[in-house]
A and B are shown apart, each in its own frame.
Chain A
Amino acid sequence: MAAPARPHPNAELMEKARDVKGRSLWDDARRRLFRNKAAVVGMAILAIIATMAVLAPLLSPYAYDAIDYSLVSCSPAWWPGEDVFCRVPDGSHLFGTDSVGRDLFIRTLYGARVSLAVGLVATSVSLLIGVIYGAAAGFIGGRLDEVMMRFVDVLYSLPFIFFVIILMVVFDRNFILMFVAIGAVEWLTMARIVRGQTLSIKQKEFIEAARAAGVGTFSIIRRHVIPNVVGPVIIYVTLTIPAVILAESFLSFLGLGVQEPLTSWGVLISEGANEMEVAPWMLIFPAVFMAITLFCFNFIGDGLRDALDPKDR
């Protein structure tokens, strides 16, 4: 004897709820990120620098390796200093020229190309190694986890930049190798973060609940595990990129990285430091570009951390 179908007491509310679009984790994060002024400004400036780097050959009539001995260490026409050794007569060479008369503007942009490329490639390498290693250790757990993390601990205590230097010496400043070597240095922290995150998520109640509700393993990983691991990983990636750019510039500054006529910010700063008494613009422009880029990444990293960290809501 079935009871007559009575309407659900909250039917009206449920009807309304169907029309309301839920806010996902990512919508929330994006909103918070865009409310952070420093992060937004950082992203905008970074986008400009990146675009300029990509379009570099179109932005200047000069080639990055075109030598002009009639304009050696010339300041730009607008340079405020008085007693300069040589001044570009017209509005060309916006940033002046270097000690063999190459246009500094295009060289700074080419430096940006190398630095950003190193940042992306080396960070991807570290991401790949770190995530696979960390996830494996976290998921499998037990004895293997212990051994794997002990290995990471040992590597942590090695002064890695020295090993990158040895690599560069041994393999004669191979460009690709430098990308990989720096990436291989930076994966340790990534692996620790991913492992810790996987371990803690594996035991969370909502995973158990999902499993009890009959959700498949793949869906659990996609809906519950990945979103929770991705947050810290993204944050760490934005902090790894500037670290990698720094490492590359450090090597190039010491003469062990990118070789002439190709250039990077480290090379330009090193050349500028040698010439700064007669041609300070050779130091100042690349240094400022690099500092701004590093600042931007740090601001974005901070913004992302505030946006993605669920504890801070």
Chain B
Amino acid sequence: MAAALDKVGAPKGNDAGRGPREPVVAMLSYAIRRILGAIPTLFVIVTLAFFMMRVAPGGPFDGERRLPPEIEKNIAAAYNLDKPLYEQYGIYLGRLLQGDFGPSFKSKDFTVTELIASGLPVSLRLGLSAIAAAFLIGTTLGIFAALHQNRTADYSAMTIAMVGITIPTFVTAPLLTLFFGVYGVNLFGYEISLPVGGWDGGKIENMILPVTVLALPQIAIISRLVRGSMVEVLRSNYVRTARAKGVPSYLVVVRHALRSGLLPLVSYLGPAIAALATGSLVVEQIFGLPGIGRYFIQGALNRDYTLVLGVVIFYASFIIVLNMVADILYRVLDPRVRYD
């Protein structure tokens, strides 16, 4: 009797402990811990970048005409360069907290914040279009390959993916420009000739080539990821059960297999963003697009320290935040992962 009561009682007790509210609480505490954990990382980035810039031999105004010492002094004072290093660091941190990246050393009329703000819409639009294309096409290719596992279709899709992963952006960009922009390709009777550069207010035809170049390696990686996880899921017991029940095969894929088959994509979101940020450096440079990446390269080539510093911090925070979002999302979507 007592034993039977225990048996009835035990799950109840467990339920109380694992009630529906508990995952929410655990998730929130996980999210808060992740946010708190991101702060020291950001701090490390800012500090590292700041001091790396300052150990640079020579100041930012060295290349210019020799100026009278009092004017040099005034300039140094205007940029706070006459104060001790730790004080400069403090000032920079303080301003950074208010979203102020300081003045650009080379583009005298602009602050770094203004430069970033002017480049952001372009970079963001490029990046978002590329990632949308990559997830859409990559997922489709991956599912297709998994459904035709070890057949010609699978092998050819995966060979294309290998090409996409191996050949770097700065090779595909000029090659695609050469064929679709300079030579022009005759496709289904249409003469295709795309603009080889420029933004032009973000016209579709100006975006096709850069977005394609940015998306190609991501399509390749995503299709490989999806193929791998789908192959595994399609072999699992519950998919076999669904098949045995007589669920139509497209429903098996869409309703049963895809849910867990696409989970790895969520955790790939972070690295994908990072790769796109790096890729955009090349793409914006080649196609002459006025995004953040181009400012960064110009800043690096002109030794515009504040601009480089600002863009690095901006990119890094962006990547860290998105990594965090991806991690939290993954835990929300996958009940198997524990919050520890």
Is A bound to B? yes
> A interface vs B, CB < 8 Å?
154, 157-159, 161-163, 165-172, 242, 246, 249-250, 253-256, 266, 269-270, 272-273, 276-277, 280, 283, 287, 290-291, 294-295, 298
Known: A157-B320, A159-B312, A283-B174. 18 other contacts (CB 8 A): A157-B323, A159-B316, A163-B312, A169-B303, A169-B305, A242-B166, A250-B168, A253-B282, A256-B300, A270-B170, A273-B170, A273-B177, A276-B174, A280-B178, A290-B171, A294-B167, A294-B168, A298-B166
Q: Is the CB of B177 within 8 A of A165?
A: no
Contacts between the two chains (Cβ within 8 Å), count:
110
A276-B282 in contact given A166-B312, A250-B168, A290-B171 (Cβ < 8 Å): no
Instruction: Choose one: B178, B296, B297; the contact of A283 (CB below 8 Å).
Output: B178
Chain B, interface SS category = helix
Q: Is the CB of A255 within 8 A of B301?
A: yes
Q: Is the CB of B53 within 8 A of A170?
A: yes
Q: Is the CB of A162 within 8 A of B170?
A: no
Q: Return A37 CB to nearest CB of chain B, in Å.
A: 14
Q: How far is the CA of A291 from the CA of B164 in the complex (A)?
A: 11
A159-B274 in contact given A254-B285, A273-B174 (Cβ < 8 Å): yes
A266-B56 in contact given A157-B320, A159-B277, A163-B312 (Cβ < 8 Å): no
Most A CB contacts (10 A, CB to CB) among B166, B297, B312 go to B166
Q: How many residues of B contact A (CB 8 A)?
A: 47
Q: Is the CB of A295 within 8 A of B166?
A: yes
Chain A residue contacts of B308, Cβ below 8 A? 165-166, 169
Instruction: Choose one: B165, B173, B315, B323; the contact of A162 (CB below 8 Å).
Output: B315
Q: Is the CB of A256 within 8 A of B177?
A: no
Q: How far is the CA of A298 from the CA of B224 in the complex (A)?
A: 15
Q: Return B228 CB to nearest CB of chain A, in Å.
A: 14
Chain B residue contacts of A256, Cβ below 8 A? 300-301
Instruction: Choose one: B44, B52, B274, B285; the contact of A154 (CB below 8 Å).
Output: B44
Instruction: Choose one: B38, B49, B174; the contact of A166 (CB below 8 Å).
Output: B49
Q: Is the CB of B315 within 8 A of A272?
A: no
CB of B209 within 8 Å of the partner chain:
no
Q: Is the CB of B52 within 8 A of A166?
A: yes
Q: Return B213 CB to nearest CB of chain A, in Å.
A: 12
A170-B174 in contact given A158-B41, A250-B168 (Cβ < 8 Å): no
> B interface vs A, CB < 8 Å?
38, 40-41, 44-45, 48-49, 52-53, 55-57, 162, 165-168, 170-171, 173-175, 177-178, 182, 274, 277-278, 281-282, 285-286, 296-297, 300-301, 303, 305, 308-309, 311-312, 315-316, 319-320, 323
Q: Is the CB of B166 within 8 A of A291?
A: yes
Q: How far is the CA of A256 from the CA of B182 in the complex (A)?
A: 27
Chain A residue contacts of B277, Cβ below 8 A? 159
Chain B residue contacts of A242, Cβ below 8 A? 166
Q: Is the CB of A161 within 8 A of B278?
A: yes
Chain A residue contacts of B171, Cβ below 8 A? 269, 287, 290-291
Q: How far is the CA of A260 from the CA of B98 in the complex (A)?
A: 42
In the complex formed, the residue of B with least CB distance to A253 is B170
Q: How far is the CA of A159 from the CA of B278 in the complex (A)?
A: 9
Q: What are the 3 A-B residue pairs with the smallest beta carbon separation, nearest first?
A: A273-B174, A170-B56, A162-B312
Q: Return B38 CB to nearest CB of chain A, in Å.
A: 8
Q: Return B19 CB to nearest CB of chain A, in Å.
A: 32
Q: How far is the CA of A249 from the CA of B282 in the complex (A)?
A: 11
Q: How far is the CA of A154 from the CA of B323 in the complex (A)?
A: 12
Q: How far is the CA of A200 from the CA of B65 in the complex (A)?
A: 63
Q: Is the CB of B45 within 8 A of A158?
A: yes
In the complex formed, the residue of B with least CB distance to A150 is B37
Q: Return B173 CB to nearest CB of chain A, in Å.
A: 7
Chain A residue contacts of B316, Cβ below 8 A? 158-159, 162
Q: Return B181 CB to nearest CB of chain A, in Å.
A: 9
A254-B174 in contact given A157-B41, A157-B319, A246-B168 (Cβ < 8 Å): no
Chain B residue contacts of A273, Cβ below 8 A? 170, 173-174, 177, 286
Chain A residue contacts of B38, Cβ below 8 A? 157
Q: List 22 A-B contacts (CB under 8 A).
A: A154-B40, A157-B38, A159-B278, A163-B48, A163-B49, A163-B52, A166-B309, A168-B300, A169-B308, A171-B57, A250-B168, A256-B301, A276-B177, A276-B178, A283-B175, A283-B178, A290-B171, A291-B167, A294-B166, A295-B166, A298-B165, A298-B166
